C-alpha cells in the first residue's frame, strides 16, 4: 500500500513539473460599444466605450465621438447630442458615474422609427435603428404593507408588499420590463437654506407572484415575454426589501413602479445579458452571446414606452 501511494505521488509530481503556460496569441478588436435606450418623455442618452477581452480585469474605457445624431424618420428631424461629463454624487458615493451624450430637446414619439448615427475618429461610420412601441397603462398600484423587518440582524431593513394590475393587448405590446424605485428625501444644509434632495434606491426583489413566467433583469426588476401572456387583465403581487432609516427623511418615502412596453431589440439585449452575467463565474457554463443591432460596432440602440405609478409608503 505504501509503495502504491508513493508511486502515485511521484507520478503527480512528474506531470506537475511538465506543466507549461501557453500564451494564446488571439487577435482582439476593441470595437466601439454603444448603449442607448430611448423612450417618450425621457432624455435621450448614448454611452460609448471600448470592448474588452472576456478575461480582462481592466476598467471600462469610455470614448468620445466627433458627432452623434438621432433622426426621426417620420418628419426627418435630425438632433445633435452633446457630451456630458460625470459629476460626483455626494449622497450616493457608490453610484457609478460615466460620461454620456444627451439631448433634452429631442421628443420621442410612439410607433416611430429613429436612426442613430455616430462618428468616431479612426472608425467606420456607426449606425443603428429602432422603433418605439406603443404605451401600455397600469390600471392600479396598491400598497399592501410597508413594515420594518423583525429580524434583529437586519437593522433598518423594510419590507414592501404591493399589488399591480394591468391589461395586456397583443396588438400593442410585445414584451415588458417591470422596474422598481424606492425614493425618499434627505435634508441637506446649504450656506443660505435647507433643501431636500431626492435619493433613489433600487429595491431588492424578494418575491414576485404572477400567472406567467418572468426573468430577473441584471439592472432592476423583471423581464416578461409577451408571447407568455394571455390577453386581458393581469395581477402582479410583489415583495421588495430596502434599507431605510426613518430618521433620515422628514417625509414618507415612495415606491415608484414602472411598466415598460419594450421592443424586440430591448428585450433580447436585457434577457441575454442577464443570462450571461448570471453564468460568468462558472467555467462550465455555456457561452451566452448578447445580440447587437449596431452597425460597425457592438451594443444596443433600442426603445420602450413606459407607464409609471407611485404610492406613498406609510406603516
Q: How far apart are CA 45 and CA 37, in angstroms?
A: 7
pLDDT tens digits along 163-198: 999 999 988 888 999 999 999 988 877 778 888 888
pLDDT at 91: 45
Among 234, 257, 262, residue whose Cα is nearest residue 308: 257
pLDDT at 92: 46
pLDDT at 189: 77
Which regions in the chain score pLDDT beneath 70? 1-28, 55, 87-97, 152, 154, 280-287
Q: How far apart are CA 133 and CA 264, in angstroms?
A: 10
Q: How far apart are CA 299 and CA 118, in angstroms?
A: 13
Please list the residue range(s) of the chain that carry CATH number 2.60.40: 29-131, 138-291+304-312
For the domain bounded by 138-291+304-312, which CATH number is listed? Answer: 2.60.40
Query: Is residue 293 a contact partner of residue 218, using CB atoms and an 8 Å limit?
Result: no
Phi, psi of 103 (to 5 degrees): -150, 130
pLDDT at 62: 92
b/e sequence 94-130, b meaning 16+ C-beta within 10 Å: eeeeeebbbbeebebeeebebebbbebeeeeebbbbb
Residue ranges of alpha helices (H) inside the chain are 2-17, 264-279
What is 29-131's CATH topology?
Immunoglobulin-like (2.60.40)
Q: How far apart are CA 253 and CA 248, in angstroms?
A: 10
Q: What is the pTM of this model?
A: 0.83
pLDDT at 178: 97
pLDDT tens digits along 20-70: 554 545 566 789 999 999 999 999 999 999 988 776 778 889 999 999 999
pLDDT at 254: 96
pLDDT at 89: 46
Q: How far apart are CA 13 and CA 274, in angstroms?
A: 42
Q: How far apart are CA 28 and CA 135, in angstroms?
A: 41
Strand-strand pairing, 32-38 and 298-312: parallel
Q: How far apart are CA 228 and CA 235, in angstroms?
A: 15
Cell of 268: 433580447
Amino acid at each position: 500500500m505504501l509503495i502504491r501511494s508513493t508511486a502515485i505521488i511521484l507520478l503527480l509530481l512528474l506531470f506537475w513539473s511538465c506543466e507549461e503556460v501557453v500564451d494564446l496569441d488571439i487577435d482582439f478588436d476593441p470595437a466601439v460599444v454603444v448603449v442607448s435606450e430611448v423612450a417618450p418623455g425621457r432624455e435621450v442618452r448614448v454611452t460609448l466605450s471600448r470592448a474588452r477581452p472576456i478575461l480582462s480585469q481592466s476598467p471600462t474605457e469610455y470614448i468620445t465621438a466627433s458627432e452623434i445624431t438621432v433622426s426621426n424618420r417620420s418628419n426627418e428631424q435630425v438632433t445633435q447630442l452633446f457630451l456630458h461629463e460625470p459629476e460626483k454624487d455626494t449622497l450616493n458615493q457608490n453610484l457609478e458615474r460615466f460620461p454620456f451624450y444627451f439631448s433634452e430637446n429631442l421628443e420621442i414619439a410612439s410607433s416611430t422609427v429613429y436612426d442613430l448615427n455616430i462618428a468616431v475618429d479612426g472608425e467606420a461610420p456607426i449606425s443603428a435603428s429602432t422603433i418605439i412601441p406603443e404605451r401600455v397603462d397600469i390600471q392600479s398600484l396598491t400598497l399592501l404593507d410597508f413594515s420594518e423587518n423583525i429580524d434583529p440582524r437586519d437593522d433598518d431593513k423594510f419590507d414592501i408588499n404591493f399589488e399591480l394590475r394591468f391589461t395586456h393587448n397583443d396588438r400593442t405590446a410585445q414584451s415588458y420590463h417591470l422596474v422598481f424605485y424606492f425614493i425618499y428625501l434627505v435634508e441637506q444644509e446649504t450656506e443660505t437654506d435647507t433643501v431636500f434632495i431626492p435619493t433613489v434606491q433600487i429595491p431588492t426583489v424578494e418575491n414576485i407572484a404572477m400567472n406567467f413566467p418572468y426573468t430577473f433583469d441584471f439592472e432592476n426588476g423583471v423581464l416578461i415575454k409577451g408571447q407568455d401572456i394571455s390577453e386581458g387583465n393581469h395581477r402582479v403581487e410583489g415583495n421588495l426589501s430596502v434599507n431605510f432609516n426613518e430618521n433620515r427623511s422628514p417625509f414618507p418615502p415612495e415606491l415608484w413602479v414602472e411598466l415598460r412596453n419594450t421592443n424586440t431589440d430591448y428585450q433580447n439585449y436585457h434577457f441575454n445579458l442577464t443570462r450571461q452575467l448570471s453564468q460568468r463565474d462558472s467555467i462550465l457554463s455555456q457561452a451566452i452571446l448578447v445580440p447587437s443591432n449596431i452597425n460597425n460596432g457592438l451594443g444596443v440602440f433600442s426603445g420602450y414606452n413606459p407607464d409609471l405609478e407611485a404610492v406613498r409608503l406609510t406603516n
